[in-house]
Structure 1
Amino acid sequence: MAPTYKLTYFDITALGEPIRFLLSYGGMEFEDNRIQKESWPTLRPSTPFGQMPILEHNGKVAYQSAAICRYLAKQVKLVGKNEWEDLEIDATVDTITDLRLKIGPYYYEQDEKIKEVKAGPIFNEIIPFYMEKLDAQVKNNNGYFVNGRLTWADLFFVAMVDYLCFMATKNKSALSS
């Protein structure tokens, strides 16, 4: 039987990996359409907002990684048991995304002198702050992010850790400790 889902993203983990994790967790067959960087300029105009990942299912196209994850999490029952738990899950995912967005300017900086200036706050303040808070949240929830059970926030974090470490290549131990 042909896969009913088609995920299109670059040939990297990054924002596509949480989606792959959720599809795999749910045992859903999917086509993992990995795009090479060179193909992107040709494909970009055909995407909803000129960005990826995109998920196709039953003739429909979904975009925005968190929205896709939230949709798939409902399919595989990794959402909250009530609206408050859903809010806690969303807040956790948004916090992980905030961390990624704070590391991004450091990673993408081309000027080595400016990058060195950005490194101090990233590695001495931002990463330790976020990781301590996230670690405390997990400790307070019996090893999970929300309500002591597996949710899509847990899969999202695990899927994003490699990407966060990659972006923080100057000091990988800041994220792994």
Structure 2
Amino acid sequence: MPTYKLTYFPVKALAEPIRFLLSYAEIPFEDDRFDREDWPKIKPTTPYGQVPVLEVDGKKVAQSSAIARYLAKQCGLAGKDDWEALLIDATVDTIHDVRAKLAAFHYEEDETYKAAKRKVADEVVPFYLERLDAQVKDNGGYFVGGALSWADLTFVAILDYLNFMNTSDLIEKYENLKQLKEKVLDVPAIKSWVAKRPETEL
């Protein structure tokens, strides 16, 4: 079996969907969480100057969604055909659109721009969430095809990070998304990972 090492900041955020997938597939991996002050010396060793980075038998690969998709294919969570795979990809991209809208104001330091970007997020994010919630309702309690996929794992894994940036519970009003969260967290391998992972806010 290949050896896996996942390198990221000491938080959940963008690495957590990958950790969920590795855990779900019961693939042992080294969870390398470096101190933030070490980032300047780690950055040049990464493929594109960003993390997460997954090493598979020492070969480094970047881009969190690409890594997650690769692992999802390995463990049967990438859809039963090309059409489902497309719907799952589209859902994951939408989840990352939500993240981008929240990140735009969260990381903005200029207060004037921050307020304007918050206003945009406050309009656009509920629009996305309503549709994601309806999608779960229409697909038997999951995002695609009435079955667990890496889209479901991605959403639940990244939710703490989204809530941290939003400063409140994004899915409070969305019953189907709340049920999806419970379902994913109830998967034995995910439950086991969540119980043992380091405690972090985001």
For normalisation by structure 2, the TM-score amounts to 0.81
| CA deviation vs aligned residue, 1:93-116 (integer Å, no higher than 9, x gap) | 001011111111110111334323
- Count of matched residue positions in the alignment of Structure 1 and Structure 2: 173
Deviation, structure 1 residue 126? 1.2
| CA deviation vs aligned residue, 1:136-170 (integer Å, no higher than 9, x gap) | 0000001100000000000000011111111112x
SS in 1 for 2:100: helix
| CA deviation vs aligned residue, 1:33-66 (integer Å, no higher than 9, x gap) | 0011100000100110100001011231111000
Residue equivalent to 1:158 = 156
Q: Which runs of 4+ in 1 moved over 4 A?
A: none
Among residues 131, 140, 143, which one is paired with 1:142 in the alignment?
140
Deviation, structure 1 residue 121? 2.7
* Contact 2:68–2:150, Cα closer than 8 Å, also in 1: yes
Deviates more, 1:67-76 or 1:111-120: 111-120
Deviates more, 1:135-144 or 1:103-112: 103-112
For normalisation by structure 1, the TM-score amounts to 0.92
Deviation, structure 1 residue 174? 4.1
Rounded Cα–Cα distance in structure 2 between residues aligned with 1:120 and 1:61: 39
Structure 2 counterparts to residues 71-110 of structure 1, below 5 A: 71-110=70-109
Unaligned runs of 5+ in 1: none
Amino-acid identity (%) = 58
Distance 1:12 1:107, change over 3 A: same
Deviation, structure 1 residue 3? 8.1
Give the alignment's Cα RMSD to 1 decimal. Answer: 1.5
SS in 2 for 1:56: strand
Rounded Cα–Cα distance in structure 2 between residues aligned with 1:23 and 1:97: 20
Residue equivalent to 2:172 = 176
Unaligned runs of 5+ in 2: 174-202
